[in-house]
Copies of this chain bind each other. A is one copy, B any other.
């Protein structure tokens, strides 16, 4: 793991503290806690943190964004795992929420995490920065809607008609995983405004967005490669499942794993170039891109 992940304890602390302060019924809180505090890479919060640093921000100001991103990510995992969707029993090495707490609770806890994500973005941390709150809320709506669109394309037949396999798989994943990863980078960067005392220049935001789009696509290609190549015990979830379900994956669309690796190399270059403007402050983002290109799970 690269140094960029040394911020994980801070992020875990923010998530735990969020769950402790959560105003909700006991059962709902337990279900949210089960999903939100069961580990995971925390990739989106880590990206937001380092995008904030790249843009010259104080990472204390990005923590509400980190919590919001992980709430939305966990909501999407819980709903995607449901029997009517991907029907998964195992997630991060433990039973999925609907296996643990029942299907009704999994639907409701997912719903709750999604709506709750908008709370930290409009909370006391942004007092005096209402314009920034509004911008963050809008970025999160856009990303979440894109993510849901991607799940529609992925789950429901014939929702990307007339596309080639490569176009189809890219359409699915620029939405399904790409939108929130891109938003993590943009929202992280935007939160630098608080310590900088003024908003980012539009081309700074674009650079972070382009970086996010490139690594988002790369992330999913690598994920598909892991699904083909890794045993379940190492990946922490059921693997080989995409092929069994007849799902279109990058190795299938590109025809070979080698062709996927070439695509990954190209996206890594794009990502690295996008954040070169940030110089030394962008080091962690560049490290993260390299890590994501070569990760084994």
Contacts and interface: CB of A to CB of B under 8 A. Distances in A.
A145 B23 CA distance: 9
CB-CB nearest 7 A-B residue pairs: A130-B130, A84-B103, A115-B144, A122-B134, A112-B148, A130-B131, A25-B149
Contacts of A118: 118, 137, 140-141
A50 B275 CA distance: 50
Contacts of A149: 24-25, 28, 112
**Chain A contact residues: helix, strand, loop or mixed:** helix
Interface in A125-172: 126, 130-131, 133-134, 137-138, 140-141, 144-145, 148-149, 151-153, 155-156, 159
A79 interface: yes
25 contacts: A24-B145, A25-B149, A27-B156, A28-B148, A75-B111, A82-B107, A84-B102, A102-B156, A104-B155, A105-B152, A108-B148, A108-B151, A108-B155, A111-B111, A111-B144, A112-B145, A115-B145, A118-B140, A118-B141, A121-B137, A122-B137, A130-B130, A130-B131, A130-B134, A133-B133
Give the copy number.
Answer: 2
A96 to B, nearest CB: 14
A116 interface: yes
A25 B104 contact: no
Contacts of A144: 111, 115
A151 B106 CA distance: 12
Interface of A: 23-28, 75, 79, 82, 84-85, 102-105, 107-108, 110-112, 114-116, 118-119, 121-123, 126, 130-131, 133-134, 137-138, 140-141, 144-145, 148-149, 151-153, 155-156, 159
B114 A115 contact: yes
